[in-house]
Each structure stands twice: as C-alpha cells, then as structure tokens.
C-alpha cells in the first residue's frame, strides 16, 4: 500500500469512528438516493392538479398531504430535492473551481498577483452575499441556471483563501524545491505537485458549502426569485405553505424538515471530514 492509499485508509477509518459524521453521511445518502430516484419513488406526478383533493392532510392516499392545488406534497418534495441537490453541487463546483484557480495563482506567485486577488476577495467579502445575489437576480431572469451561476460566482472567496494558504505552506517544501531544480514548469508544479497535496481543506469547504448553497436557493425560491413554478423546489413549497399555515401545517413542516435534515447532514459530514484529515483531532 502506497502513502496515498494509506492516508486515504486512515482518513476513512477516523471518519467512520466519528458518530456524528456517520449520521451526517447517512442523512446525505438518504436525501441523495430519494432525490435521484424520484421518478421511480414519487407516487404522483408533481405537477398534476387535483381539485377534489385540495389541502388534504397526510393519510394513506397522500402520505404528506396535498397543497392548495391538490398536488401531492411527497412527490413535489422528492422532485424538489433533485433541484436543490443540482443547485448545490453545480454552484459549489463553480465556486470551488474559481477558488482553486485564483487561490493557486495567489499562493504560488505572491507579490502583486497575490495582492490583487486578495483585494478582490476582501471586496467580495465586504458585500453581503444575499444582497449581491438579490441585486443580480433583479437584473437577470430568475431560472435554475442563473441561480446556480450566481451562487457559484458569489461563493468562491473561501475556497480561494484556503487554497492560497495551502500553497504558501507547500511551495517551500523540499519536493517543490526539487521540482524547480529539475526544470519543471510552473504549471506542472502547481497541477502535479502542490495542488494534489492541498485539496484537503477544499474538500471540507465544498461539502459544507453544498448545504449553504441549498439554503440560499431555498431562500430565493421562498421569496419568488429562485426556481420558478411549476418546477417544485423546497423553498417554493415553503412559500406556498405560509399562506395556509394555520389550516395546512404540513405544507411548511415537511419541506422545512427536508431542508433542515439536508443542511445538517452536509455540515456534520463536512466537520467529520475536517476532523479525520486533521492529525491533531485524532485520538
């Protein structure tokens, strides 16, 4: 077993010993499975209107009840989970990619490049993210694609700072100095030597960032600025439930619980990964 395989095995071992991380991973897996297989699991078409079953409470026919148009809440939640996960993964993917590129350049080259990128980070961090997103959404047409891109473009600062810190530390190591000595190009040193050894904090950040992206998307959809009807999302389900919360509690309770479970799962898993990758946290 080589060093990379040994490190991965040790990380997995300590991760599995962390009960909260295991619980988080189980929650994430359940949400992922239910969302991916929504077309097979959902008992009804999420867009089918049934005026004979408007605001029917949870029961044998509709396990989580129906909404104000008679649509099955369980089916809409399952399909809405697909939207939330899609937004979370794509948005975090965009943010992580931008953060890795800019953080790598800042940490490796330093000097004016580092100063320029870090000032851009400071400017972005000084602007409240939600207000920036709302401003952009007000200009662009609300759609799932725009939501994913906007969240990604406003969330790259943390990955950039993490990668920069790793590069500043790693570029002084012996293996990097040796690569310079044998004439390796900067791009090869960055991609082949430093970056693979500095991705651990990015993995933690991305895992926890998915939960944050889902929260942002849900908030925008709740305000009517996110995924547009009739496409179901957890935020839009919450929005439709607020008007009938006194007579149809299930319209708000179940989507809210789904958001809570999903975000909690990613946070617990991210913290578990962080502890498993940190030798100081190992007992």
> Residue 1, SS3?
coil
**pLDDT higher than threshold 70 for residue 283:** no
Worst-scoring range by mean pLDDT, 6-15, 179-188, 251-260?
Answer: 6-15
User: Residue 116: pLDDT band by 50, 70, 90 thresholds?
Assistant: very high
CB atoms inside a 10 Å sphere around CB 135: 12
Token output for 234: 């957890």
Please report the pLDDT score of residue 196 as a whole number. Answer: 85
Query: Going by C-beta distance under 8 Å and a sequence separation of 6 or more, which residues neighbour residue 64?
Result: 58, 72, 73, 74, 77, 250, 254
Block residue for tokens 């937004």: 87
Worst-scoring range by mean pLDDT, 106-115, 232-241, 272-281?
Answer: 272-281
Q: What is the pTM of this model?
A: 0.88
Are 72 and 46 in contact, with CB atoms under 8 Å apart?
Answer: yes
Q: What share of the chain is helix, strand, coil (3-state, %, to 5)?
A: 75, 0, 25
Give 197's DSSP letter: G
Please report the pLDDT score of residue 3 as a whole number. Answer: 55
User: Residue 8: pLDDT band by 50, 70, 90 thresholds?
Assistant: confident
For residue 207, the Cα-to-chain-centroid distance in whole angstroms is 6
**pLDDT higher than threshold 80 for residue 279:** no
CB atoms inside a 10 Å sphere around CB 54: 15
**pLDDT higher than threshold 70 for residue 7:** no
Block residue for tokens 């012996």: 174
CATH number at residue 141: 1.10.3720.10
The mean predicted confidence, pLDDT, of the chain is 88
- The dihedral built from the CA positions of residue 35, 240, 212 and 10, taken in this order, carries a sign that is negative
Are 273 and 203 in contact, with CB atoms under 8 Å apart?
Answer: yes
**pLDDT higher than threshold 80 for residue 280:** no
| Distance (Å, whole) CA 171 – CA 4 | 19
User: Residue 200: pLDDT band by 50, 70, 90 thresholds?
Assistant: confident
Number of domains in the chain: 1
Which tens digits make up the pLDDT trace of 210-260?
A: 999 999 989 888 888 888 878 888 988 888 888 888 888 999 899 999 999
Range of the domain at 236: 3-281
């Amino acid at each position: 077993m080589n060093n990379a395989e040994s490190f991965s095995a040790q990380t997995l071992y300590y991760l599995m010993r962390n009960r909260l991380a295991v619980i988080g991973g189980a929650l994430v897996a359940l949400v992922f499975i239910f969302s991916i297989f929504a077309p097979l699991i959902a008992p009804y078409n999420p867009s089918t209107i049934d005026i004979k079953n408007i605001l029917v409470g949870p029961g044998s026919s509709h396990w989580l009840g129906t909404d104000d148009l008679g649509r099955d809440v369980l089916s809409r939640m399952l399909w809405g989970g697909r939207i939330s996960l899609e937004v979370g993964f794509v948005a975090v993917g965009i943010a992580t990619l931008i953060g890795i590129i800019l953080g790598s350049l800042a940490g490796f080259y330093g000097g004016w490049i580092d100063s320029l990128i870090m000032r851009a980070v400071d400017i972005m961090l000084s602007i409240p993210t939600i207000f920036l997103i709302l401003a952009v959404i007000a200009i662009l047409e609300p759609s799932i694609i725009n939501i994913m891109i906007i969240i990604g473009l406003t969330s790259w600062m943390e990955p950039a700072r993490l990668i920069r810190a790793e590069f500043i530390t790693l570029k002084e190591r012996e293996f990097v100095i040796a690569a310079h000595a044998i004439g390796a190009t900067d791009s090869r040193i960055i991609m082949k030597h430093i970056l693979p050894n500095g991705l651990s904090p990015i993995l933690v950040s991305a895992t926890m960032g998915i939960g944050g992206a889902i929260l942002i998307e849900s908030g925008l959809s709740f305000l009517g600025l996110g995924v547009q009807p009739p496409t179901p999302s957890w935020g839009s389900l919450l929005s439709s439930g607020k008007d009938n919360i006194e007579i149809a509690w299930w319209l708000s309770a179940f989507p809210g619980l789904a958001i809570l479970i999903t975000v909690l799962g990613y946070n617990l898993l991210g913290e578990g990964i962080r502890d498993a990758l940190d030798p100081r946290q190992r007992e």
